[in-house]
Amino acid sequence: MSDERWDQVLGHVARAVPDGGVRLVVGGAPEQARVLADRLAARFGVARVARPAERLEVARVGDGDGLLLWASGGRGDRREDADVVVDVSDPAWPVIRHIDAALLDRDVWFGSESRAFFAARAATWDSRFGDDLPAYGQAVAEAGLAPGWTVVDLGCGTGRAFPGLRDAVGDGVVIGIDHTPEMLDAAQVRARECGAALVLGDARRLPFGDGGVDAVFAAGLLTHLPDPAGGLRELARVTAPGGRLVLFHPTGRAALAARHGHTLRPDEPLNEDVLRVTGGHAGWDLIGYDDRAHRFHAVLARRA
């Protein structure tokens, strides 16, 4: 499926190119940069020109200073000033990781690229991160869920939260939702063991009526949404008054940012002050916040 994946990636890049054309300059890991530059040259029907310091210019008719496309070779390999970042660690399965919002709305490209990212990793996810299972159980146990509740594991992945959620709600209902079919396939065994239903769905448009669930567990989800504030509003819409929202990651924010080569900004959605304000506007009260090196864990209560 390599050509289809590249077609989708380059289609998004083409939409991001300003009207009238512009120079495309490719940087990054040398091998990956050459792959990306060759694909861009073929897509746009123009020549590729070698540049100093492993920069490659894809000639294009038009004015302007040019766009910097960064070819990432994997985790933490990203230029913060790049206009577009493409993960080419697997040249047969490229994935866009960033496009400047001034060039292309995140809603246009993010869904397909997020699915592509997780689809390629679903089969090995548990072998890489299986040691996190106890942390998921602890995060659920501290959230104040009640027996008999209907709970949703949103962005459930392979279902690592299912055992803890089942223990917390007893004979209640556990539903796992993910937008990547390959992840839901990988979650089948754990779902059967825990009596959880699996649903292919989008966190931005949940298949529930107003107040239809009692709690939402979301591991590593909020910062992956194109509009985190809008995501909080949608989660509030489907959660009954007095219900809970649990935001979790088995690594703290600072440690996770360092792992990916980023630095934390004060305006990030999971910053405590930001989350308190945006959550409040959406109808949530922040009642618990723990951001240490080994985990991020925030609990919000749905306001009556």
Range in 18-22, 189-193, 224-228 the model is least confident about: 18-22
List the domain boundaries for the chain.
2-120, 126-302
**Residue 122 scores a pLDDT above 90:** yes
State both tokens at 232.
């909080």
pTM: 0.87
Q: pLDDT per residue over 183-208, tens digit each?
A: 999 999 999 999 999 999 999 999 99
pLDDT given for residue 287 in this prediction: 98
**Residue 223 scores a pLDDT above 60:** yes
DSSP string, 185-228: HHTHHHHHHHTEEEEE-BTTB-SS-TT-EEEEEEES-GGGSS-H
> Per-residue confidence at 14, pLDDT binned at 50, 70, 90?
very high
Q: pLDDT per residue over 29-67, tens digit each?
A: 889 999 999 999 999 888 777 665 555 677 554 555 688
Average pLDDT, the chain: 91
Residue pair 204/234 in contact (Cβ under 8 Å)? The answer is: yes
In order of 69, 70, 253, 289, the CA distances from 260 in angstroms are 18, 15, 11, 23
Q: pLDDT per residue over 237-291, tens digit each?
A: 999 999 999 999 999 999 988 887 778 889 999 999 999 999 999 999 999 999 9
Q: HSE, CB side, 13 Å, CA atoms: give it for residue 268.
A: 14
Higher per-residue confidence, 147 vs 64: 147
Give dist(CA 20, CA 30) in Å, integer: 29
What architecture does CATH give domain 126-302?
3-Layer(aba) Sandwich (3.40)
Average pLDDT over residues 68-85: 81
pLDDT given for residue 45 in this prediction: 82
Average pLDDT over residues 9-20: 90
